Amino acid sequence: MDKNGLIAQLITLNLSKDEYVVVVGGVLTAHYIRDTADIDLVVSPNLFCHLQMTWSQKIRPNGKIGLYQGCFEAYLDVNCGDSQESFQTLLASSDVIAGIHFMHLSILAAFKRNYGRKKDLADLNLIAAFQNNK
């Protein structure tokens, strides 16, 4: 999905824009770096409780609960290795694009470095190319 599709999908959720931050692939899409297949959100504890009533639950690899509905995944935080960010921290440092909060690109890059998977390294190269062309 491209940036227009991403924004349209987020609008259909009809959630308070100060209750969630888009993370991971959606951040790259918002900056026109690459398209994404799903939309990951870190949400406030209140919104998480609300979503638990209607979204499916699944235990994440880190043992915490994730919520799923269609192309959306919602979490209370993001973490990998030494990088761990709460909703409040992500919201405070977020970029606002089209009125929606997105994880700051530098924080995403730090997570991608910690994950270190092949796809994360590819994303880091895309982020570097994007920043060099600004």
Position 81 in a domain:
yes
Position 46 in a domain:
yes
Q: 60 and 26 in contact (C-beta within 8 Å)?
A: no
Position 113 in a domain:
yes
Q: 26 and 40 in contact (C-beta within 8 Å)?
A: yes
User: Count of CB atoms within 10 A of residue 85's CB?
Assistant: 22
Q: Give the CATH number, domain containing residue 62.
A: 3.30.460.40
pLDDT at 114: 86
125 alpha-carbon distance from chain centroid? 19
Per-position pLDDT tens, the chain of length 134: 999 999 999 999 999 999 999 999 999 999 999 999 999 999 999 999 999 999 999 998 778 899 999 999 999 998 766 667 889 999 999 999 999 999 999 999 998 998 889 999 999 999 999 999 87
Q: Which residue range forms the structural domain that includes residue 28?
A: 3-126
pLDDT at 96: 98
